[in-house]
Amino acid sequence: MAVSKQHEYYEKRLEELLIEMPYFVEKYVDDKLDIRSPLTLFNYVRDFKEFFEWLMAEQIVECDSIKSFPPESLETLSLNDANNYFKHLSRKKYKVSQKDGETKQIDVKTVNRKKSSLRSLFKYLTVEAEIATGKPYFERNVMAKIPIKKVSETFNERSKKITEKIFVDDMDIHFLEFVQNDYEYLLSPAQKRYFRRDKERDFAILSLFLGSGVRVNELSNLRLKDVDFTNKEISVIRKGGKKDTVSVTPSSLDVLASYLDVRKNIYKAGDGDNEYVFVKVYNGKTAPLTNRAIENIVYKYTKAFDKRMSPHKLRHTYATNLAEQTGGDIPLIMNQLGHTNSDISLLYINTTRKKQRMAAEKMDQRRSRKSR
């Protein structure tokens, strides 16, 4: 299985986090590592830590540290205390803006994810794991009584939310033209110097997102050997470490070729097959761009053009355009985007409300003709 930079990064962070965790969480991670990604397990363990800290702060469980947290205390945890924890989560507020102090409550989906992670731990301790006696850690599973609150939304409503956050119609084309021709004029002399240095690289990143629909992790892990100009394809590492091949628009590959022509000179980068495509110079050394660095590049240019967007929104933009250009070819959309569930691909079939309004107007025109 291919190992990505993200995989290695979260493996390390998971190891660091486990140092302060109780022994039964370490055992849980060790048993799950072959079936769950390090990123998923890292998020799960963070959820466990937050839960243990709350139990200790509320004096529901008394112990000196998380490291010495006793599993028996989870067996006797009351349903009322468990429910109170999730009420506490759902009512928590976080700052959206440091400037005006605007706050927002945690999303229901986030609370559901935290419920799922704790349900996984409790199931492991009560059903899947086995201690020296041949029995599980304990038998009573209070988390099995905690419901997951369904977020009821139609495909149309979910599609509407996507549409509000992406480039629609030909805005993606106008965006690339803006970066290529107009963005520089918004900058100070000092900013222009860095922009001109990185222009080919940054433009290639933006164009590749909009010309292939890859995820940010797939793009950051791209190596020179993964680019096939002849067949107009790139090889990527999908979720779960699976290798896949993605078609790329010819114009995006032309932009990528222009970047590769200057990459070695500007960034002192090697040209071996295993060298990363997108790089920077840090402390005098060439290093691959991180996911965060790529996200910041996308944020910077999209905010200057219209609205701050993430790489995932550029992926949504590509998917919407692909759906329109192919007449909603679901198998093709699934293959191109690496979806395993057709429901996700269906979201892009009906993302433009403009078409709905046009259809409604045509229906009205039909009614008007009939009434004459």
* Catalytic residue ranges: 215, 239, 312, 315, 339, 348
Q: Cα angle vertex 351, ends 345, 354, to 5°? A: 160
Distance CA 195, CA 175 (A): 16
First to last CA, the chain: 68
Phi–psi pair at 102, nearest 5 degrees: -65, 135
Residue 371 in tokens: 């009434």
Distance CA 150, CA 108 (A): 9
* Beta carbons within 10 angstroms of residue 116's beta carbon: 14
* CB burial of residue 195 (10 Å; 0-12, 13-18, 19+): middle
Instruction: From residue 290, give the alpha-carbon distance in Å to each of 9, 212, 216, 219, 282.
Output: 10, 19, 9, 10, 12
